[in-house]
Structure 1
Amino acid sequence: MSEPNAQKAFPVSWEQLHRDTRALTWRLTAGERKYKAIVCITRGGLVPALIVARELNIRLIDTICIASYHDYKEQGDSQIMKGIGPELAALAADGGSEILLIDDLVDTGKTARIVRDMLPKAHFATVYAKPMGRPLVDTFVTEVSQDTWIYFPWDMGLSFVPPIVS
């Protein structure tokens, strides 16, 4: 995605992220599938994975570390920095059918395709989805347009905003 557009900004507060992630968890409990482990995609998937793990009482959590946004503005080449650990090897042997993949957002689907290749049978859930990546995830809560930039709470700080009319 190109540089953030102020007209298509979607700021997400900590409270909203928590509510949306709990809503994601409710959707995950609607099915018959039971999960033995969570694999979150770092860094964005860490906070949602924590909330989902708490709500589903899952203690086995691992990370897949893939970097694609190197300058916070444009998506570049994906770099796999860490795959799943040996503790999940047995669960991943069948393609990961008992694994729940968690990320904050599916954007273009670039990262999602890499993870799908690693764990093709895992259930992939994201809090937010954009149209290009949406077909790659099984469950999500909120869809935003492809040209919307989501500002997550860990990327923002409090600052002065001038009045609309001065």
Structure 2
Amino acid sequence: MSQPQPKAFPVSWDQFHRDARALAWRLAGAGTFEAIVCITRGGLVPAAIVSRELGIRVIESVCVASYHDYTSQGELRVLKGIAPEVARLGGEGGKGVLVVDDLVDTGKTAKVVREMLPDAHFATVYAKPLGRPLVDTFVTEVSQDTWIYFPWDMGLAYQAPIAENHRG
């Protein structure tokens, strides 16, 4: 018996923009934030949208690499930490800081960033069940076996019908 294919969830630029704005709407009622820390690279686009919608001007990044070949998670590496002046906002734990990423998958990256900013508010556009407990606010939950194809990773190409992937 062959391994089941992961479910494909392609996201267009329009859809991602709507979802990131929906995240901003939810965050507008979650408190006041002094700064955004985006987890690069995936958090850059939603952080730009959220910062515009919420009027947040201080934007920092933390660079954590986990997907080295775009298909599977590997060893986690912090390539760039958070600037001390941002990490100290609201006290040593990052209270008043909003951490933004595109997706929480297994939660490994979120756990590393949570250790850096334990009191920050963590928000993602999409969440999978394993990482979901580490996120304070998200828009859409997808199954763990779903692969999200973000618009910045795709070009226009033919997509096989779902039924073709389930024939056996």
* TM-score clears 0.5: yes
The count of residues paired between Structure 1 and Structure 2 equals: 161
- Give me the identity figure in percent: 69
Counterparts of residues 88-99 of structure 1 (less than 5 Å): 88-91=86-89, 93-99=91-97
- Matched-pair contact (CA < 8 Å) for 1:14–1:153: yes
User: Structure 2: which 5+ residue stretches go unaligned?
Assistant: 164-168
Residue of 38, 41, 53 corresponding to 2:39: 41
Match of 1:61 in 2: 59
Aligned in 2, Cα 1:103/1:89: closer, same or farther, shift over 3 Å? closer
Shift of 1:89: 4.0
Distance in 2, Cα, partners of 1:35 & 1:161: 40
Tell me, in whole angstroms, the C-alpha distance in 2 between the residues paired with 1:144 and 1:90. Answer: 33
**Which residue does the alignment assign to 1:13?**
12
Q: What are the equivalent positions in structure 2 for 1:144-155 lying under 5 Å apart?
A: 144-155=142-153
Distance 1:92 1:13, change over 3 A: same
- 1:37 and 1:101 map into 2 onto residues whose CA distance is 9
Q: Give the drift of 1:30.
A: 1.8
Hey, what's the Cα distance between the residues in 1 that align with 2:56 and 2:147? Answer: 31
TM-score (norm 2): 0.89
For the structure 1 residues 92 and 118, does the alpha-carbon distance in structure 2 shift closer, same or farther, using more than 3 Å as the test?
farther
- Counterparts in 2 of 1:65 and 1:98: CA distance versus 1, 3 Å: same
Name segments (4+ residues, structure 1) moved above 6 Å.
Answer: none
Amino acid at match of 2:63: C
Structure 1 Cα separation of the partners of residues 70 and 85 of structure 2: 32
- Please identify, of 98-107 and 79-88, the stretch whose mean Cα deviation from structure 2 is larger: 79-88
The answer on whether the counterparts of 2:33 and 2:97 sit within 8 Å (CA) in structure 1 is yes
Query: Do the aligned partners of 1:24 and 1:127 also contact (CA within 8 Å) in 2?
Result: yes
How much does 1:85 deviate?
1.3
Q: CA RMSD in A?
A: 2.1
Task: Identify the residue that residue 105 of structure 1 maps to in structure 2.
Answer: 103
Distance 1:55 1:162, change over 3 A: closer
Where structure 1 has 5 or more consecutive residues not aligned to the other structure, the ranges are: none
Residue equivalent to 2:124: 126
Cα displacement (A) at 1:61: 0.2
